[in-house]
């Protein structure tokens, strides 16, 4: 048996065939919103209501069906798989953390809002390489594409407050920076 990397060279994601552009990552988020929506509507809900209904629509099944049914050659598949594997595993933890900032129960939210909030919360907490402002902007883009008309205000407010806690080191200095004052020209014209 030969090892695929006998020299122990550093792994380069660009050599895997995965698209790694920002557009490919954005598309991965879009497919993840759709997959999480489906999971939240079926398997997750059934797990909470009745255990005998559970099964058949697990995240890995949704991923396999999505990959079979869609041309995903322009999607960052690694990131899509990460979101669809990690978010369902961490849903309970993320819901508890997000719920502190909600004015109503998480269960009362629209399913698309739930999916977008879960992706945003996951990225804020576990994808520290993505600046928090990018996470907020991407959540707004997802809502523009899938969500209700004014839901972006709600999603932005919740994720911004969540970012303040989980990205304190990044969030604090940005919010404390003062904008430079404009110089006022007091010369009298004559």
Nearest to 122 by CA among 73, 75, 163, 78: 163
Please determine, for residue 15, whether its predicted confidence score (pLDDT) is greater than 80. Answer: no
Please determine, for residue 38, whether its predicted confidence score (pLDDT) is greater than 60. Answer: yes
Predicted local confidence at residue 5, as pLDDT = 46
DSSP secondary-structure letter at 73? T
What would the pLDDT profile of 82-92 be if each residue is shown by its tens digit? 999 999 999 99
Q: What is the average pLDDT score of the chain?
A: 82
CA 86/CA 79 separation, integer angstroms: 10
Hey, what are 143's tokens? 């809502």
Higher-scoring residue by pLDDT: 179, 67: 67
What would the pLDDT profile of 94-124 be if each residue is shown by its tens digit? 999 999 999 999 999 999 999 999 999 999 9
Q: How confident is the model at residue 49 (pLDDT cuts 50, 70, 90)?
A: low
- pTM for the full predicted model: 0.77
DSSP secondary-structure letter at 75? S
The lowest-confidence range among 62-66, 76-80, 118-122 is 62-66
CA 167/CA 3 separation, integer angstroms: 39
Percent of the chain at pLDDT > 70 equals: 73
- Spelled out in words, what is the top-level CATH class assigned to the domain 16-169? mainly alpha
């Amino acid at each position: 048996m030969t090892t695929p990397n006998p020299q122990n060279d550093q792994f380069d994601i660009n050599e895997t065939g995965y698209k790694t552009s920002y557009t490919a990552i954005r598309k991965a988020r879009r497919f993840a919103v759709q997959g999480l929506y489906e999971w939240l509507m079926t398997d997750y809900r059934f797990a909470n209501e009745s255990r005998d209904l559970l099964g058949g629509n697990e995240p890995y099944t949704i991923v396999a069906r999505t990959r079979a049914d869609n041309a995903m050659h322009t999607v960052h598949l690694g990131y899509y798989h990460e979101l669809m594997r990690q978010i369902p595993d961490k849903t309970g933890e993320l819901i508890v953390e997000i719920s502190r900032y909600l004015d109503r129960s998480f269960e009362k939210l629209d399913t698309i809002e739930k999916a977008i909030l879960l992706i945003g919360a996951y990225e804020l907490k576990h994808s520290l390489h993505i600046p928090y402002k990018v996470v907020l902007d991407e959540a707004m883009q997802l809502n523009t594409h899938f969500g209700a008309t004014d839901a972006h205000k709600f999603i932005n407010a919740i994720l911004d407050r969540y970012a303040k806690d989980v990205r304190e080191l990044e969030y604090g200095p940005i919010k404390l920076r003062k904008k430079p004052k404009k110089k006022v020209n007091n010369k009298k014209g004559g």
